[in-house]
């Protein structure tokens, strides 16, 4: 029980820290969307464009660092030092490539092209903080990283609010908001550095033979991550090129909310990676851990998907303005969200399967899966985006997540016979049925805040009764 609890508490430490970050991020969305769809579209584009390049600077090294430090804790300082040096070089190279390549996109406004240089600094600082956090992840002390992230986002939200209230003081509000992001990431990076330094001494490592061996090991996973980012974000980039800033603004509000939901799956996958890596030599334990992880993800994914479909208009209205809502033939962010949120169910399991295959050293298969998904999503968007608009992007994303789910499940099944417990699945489904019966019987469909508040108590109250089913003591 202690081991399961530690994995879950590690994931929730990240999640609750991220909840604060999400709250701050949604507050930022609320403020920035008030400047209009074009302004917000440019703001989103400046950050989304960098997302492609940010994952290149990772190169798969974060997951490899966590895995290796979990297996060899006595060599943590050596591993972190060399990973840190490798990623600093990648950061410099990738930031330059991103900034230069953005200048050649003809449909990007001049402010976006300049803004991408500024967000490049934010990306670099975020990657440095992420690199240092690998020691915290390996030692299951990720709550320090999550706290730093939350404080950084809160600082950014305050800065954005102050800027919005005193726009006359700034020559260019758009650039000022982007520089506020740099400031918040400096603060974030300093905090993470402090906590990481309490675990090991932070210094650069220059063991080039180790670099060569690690790059050979991480390259397939790094390329898989690049392709995963591409297939998940190619829709936003193609919308910005083919449909313009306003369309990006409408689509971007929905994707921002979706990212807030998806983060729990990412954090849970990262939290379970050290344990799966440590259990690589014990197939039965690893198999049970995987089955347990799937049950936990079922608990969270089902209510998120169904609840978001029911309350999509209220969610969008809460964090943006009425111009983002559907009206007549106009497809708003609420309709986009009600479609995109379906991917949460598949994406949660895809993250778990991905980290499980990393623990099994099956990075090459991940490369194939994500490459295929990227090619499909890109082709579907190019073929149908100009004809059907942003609805085509949403449907393409759903199809790709389902495809990835099927391919990853096929590979997982080769290595494990997942012991999903039928009784536990029945408890989860029954709890969801009770939850949504309560919402409809109490006529809470139009009251988001009350529905969420009462729903959390009812849903987790039911699951608490059966907590021993999900946290059985390990032998």
The pLDDT tens digits of the residues spanning 270-313 come to 667 666 766 666 767 777 878 888 888 899 899 999 999 999 99
Across the strands, what pairs with 327? 330
Q: Which of 30, 324, 47, 52 is nearest to 180 (CA)?
A: 47
The pLDDT tens digits of the residues spanning 188-242 come to 999 999 999 998 888 899 998 888 888 877 777 777 777 777 777 788 888 988 8
Work out the pLDDT band at 29, boundaries 50, 70, 90: confident
Distance CA 156, CA 321 (A): 21
Return the number of other C-beta atoms located less than 10 Å from residue 433's C-beta: 10
Mean pLDDT of 82-103: 88
* 285's tokens: 């334990």
Contact assessment for residue 262 and residue 401, using Cβ atoms and an 8 Å cutoff = no
Instruction: Tell me the C-alpha to C-alpha distance, in Å, between residue 35 and each of 40, 126, 156, 319.
Output: 7, 26, 17, 13
* 454's tokens: 């009462």
Contact assessment for residue 290 and residue 409, using Cβ atoms and an 8 Å cutoff = no
Work out the pLDDT band at 2, boundaries 50, 70, 90: very low
- The number of angstroms, rounded, from the C-alpha of 403 to the middle of its chain's C-alpha atoms is 19
Distance CA 25, CA 9 (A): 23
Question: For position 475, what pLDDT does the model report?
Answer: 45
Distance CA 191, CA 172 (A): 29
The pLDDT tens digits of the residues spanning 389-408 come to 999 999 999 999 999 999 99
């Amino acid at each position: 029980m202690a081991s399961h609890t530690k994995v879950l508490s590690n994931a929730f430490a990240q999640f609750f820290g991220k909840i604060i970050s999400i709250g701050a991020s949604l507050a930022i969305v609320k403020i920035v969307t008030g400047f209009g769809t074009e302004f917000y579209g440019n703001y989103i584009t400046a950050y989304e464009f960098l997302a492609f390049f940010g994952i290149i600077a990772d190169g798969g090294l974060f997951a490899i660092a966590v895995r290796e430090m979990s297996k060899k804790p006595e060599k943590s300082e050596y591993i972190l030092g060399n990973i840190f040096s490798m990623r600093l070089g990648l950061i410099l190279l990738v930031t330059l490539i991103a900034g230069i390549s953005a200048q050649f996109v003809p449909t990007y406004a001049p402010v976006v092209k300049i803004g991408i240089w500024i967000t490049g600094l934010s990306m670099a600082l975020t990657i440095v903080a992420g690199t240092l956090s690998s020691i915290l992840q390996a030692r299951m002390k990720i709550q320090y990283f999550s706290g730093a992230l939350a404080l950084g986002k809160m600082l950014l939200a305050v800065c954005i609010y102050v800027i919005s209230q005193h726009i006359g003081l700034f020559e260019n509000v758009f650039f000022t908001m982007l520089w506020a992001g740099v400031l918040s990431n400096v603060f974030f990076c300093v905090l993470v550095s402090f906590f990481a330094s309490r675990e090991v001494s932070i210094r650069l490592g220059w063991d080039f033979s180790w670099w060569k061996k690690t790059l050979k090991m991480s390259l397939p996973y790094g390329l898989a991550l690049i392709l995963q980012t591409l297939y998940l974000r190619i829709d936003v980039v193609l919308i910005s090129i083919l449909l313009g800033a306003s369309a990006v603004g409408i689509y971007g509000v929905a994707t921002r909310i979706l990212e807030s939901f998806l983060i729990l799956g990412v954090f849970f996958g990262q939290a379970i990676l050290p344990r799966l890596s440590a259990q690589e030599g014990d197939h039965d334990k690893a198999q049970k851990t995987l089955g347990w992880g799937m049950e936990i993800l079922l608990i969270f994914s089902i209510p998120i998907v169904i609840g978001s479909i029911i309350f999509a208009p209220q969610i969008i209205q809460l964090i943006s303005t009425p111009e983002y809502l559907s009206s007549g033939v106009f497809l708003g962010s609420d309709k986009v969200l009600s479609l995109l949120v379906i991917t949460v169910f598949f994406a949660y399991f895809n993250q778990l399967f991905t980290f499980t295959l990393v623990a099994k050293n099956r990075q090459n298969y991940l490369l194939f899966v994500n490459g295929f998904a990227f090619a499909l999503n890109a082709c579907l968007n190019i073929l149908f985006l100009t004809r059907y608009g942003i609805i085509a992007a949403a449907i393409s994303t759903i199809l790709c997540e389902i495809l990835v789910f099927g391919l990853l499940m096929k590979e997982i099944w080769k290595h494990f016979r997942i012991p999903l417990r039928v009784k536990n699945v029945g408890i989860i489904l029954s709890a969801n049925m009770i939850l949504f019966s309560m919402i409809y019987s109490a006529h809470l469909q139009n009251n988001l805040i009350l529905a969420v508040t009462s729903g959390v108590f009812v849903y987790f109250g039911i699951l608490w009764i059966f907590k021993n089913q999900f946290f059985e003591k390990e032998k």
